[in-house]
Chains A and B, each alone.
Chain A
Amino acid sequence: MEYINQIKLEMRSKSENEAFARSVAAAFTSQLDPTVEELTDIKTAISEAVSNAIIHGYQDRDDGIIKIEMAATATSKIIIVVEDKGVGIEDIEKAREPLFTTGNSEERSGMGFTVMESFMDKVIVESKPGEGTRVTLIKVLDQTNGF
């Protein structure tokens, strides 16, 4: 697949950076003339992925490193990879179930992956306990919007 643009970004696992990741994703996606709805979908999905990395991957520690890569194709496909070197996920299938959340926290909705899946076309989760988690978010923008 040939990319027309790519960026790489590393940031610390500070929750303030969730807003930063959304801004970067919005700015990167803007070059493909997205609709407001598509832009919101992508901002929401990356916000969930980065929040997961901070809350679950790094267990709310703010000294972890989150790697984000974004790529765009000529066919208006946006690919976003969010990677952490945190604790990883024991059971990926279970983690993706709606309302599932690990017991160590209050006020978690357990809807993070469900939100990502419903707002993006494809969500790929790769993880190994003790090694980290890599979430790939893919969305094909409706090309009839641009001109």
Chain B
Amino acid sequence: MGITFEMIDDILIAILSGELDHHTSLEIREEIDHTFDTFQANNLILSFEKVTFMDSAGIGVVMGRYNKVRTKNGKLALTGCNHYIDRILDMAGIYTIAKCYPSINEAISALREEKGE
């Protein structure tokens, strides 16, 4: 599992790639939290576009990051959830805490709009 980061204003964008399971989730959640703190981000976008496999460990990653951004009164947005990832996230009711957008740009716009209100 790989992860790359981008930062736009106070939004940290974590682009995940590869297989997200119990094993890989242990590493990436620490890496995301560490980067989130280091760059003093308030909002987080998790991109699943390059994720080739995900089981229920992915639900834990999203729930945990939601709790993380809430400590900063920030928002969490998801992008690039394919059919398989969507089934698992939907099953756990994840969309009640974070929406999934087709692209990173749309997620950024949505986070900015919500802040503007």
Contact = CB atoms under 8 A, between A and B. Distances in A.
A107 B23 contact: no
Interface residues of B, number: 21
A19 B56 contact: no
B56 to A, nearest CB: 4
A8 B83 CA distance: 32
Contact of A19 (B23, B25, B60): B23
Contacts of B61: 107
A101 to B, nearest CB: 9
B63 A109 contact: yes
Contacts of A94: none
Interface residues of A, number: 24
B60 to A, nearest CB: 4
A102 to B, nearest CB: 13
B21 A109 contact: no
A54 B22 CA distance: 10
Contact of A111 (B19, B22, B92): B92
Contacts of A114: 56, 91
Contacts of B19: 19, 22
A18 B56 contact: no
B63 A115 contact: no
Nearest to B58: A109
B69 interface: no
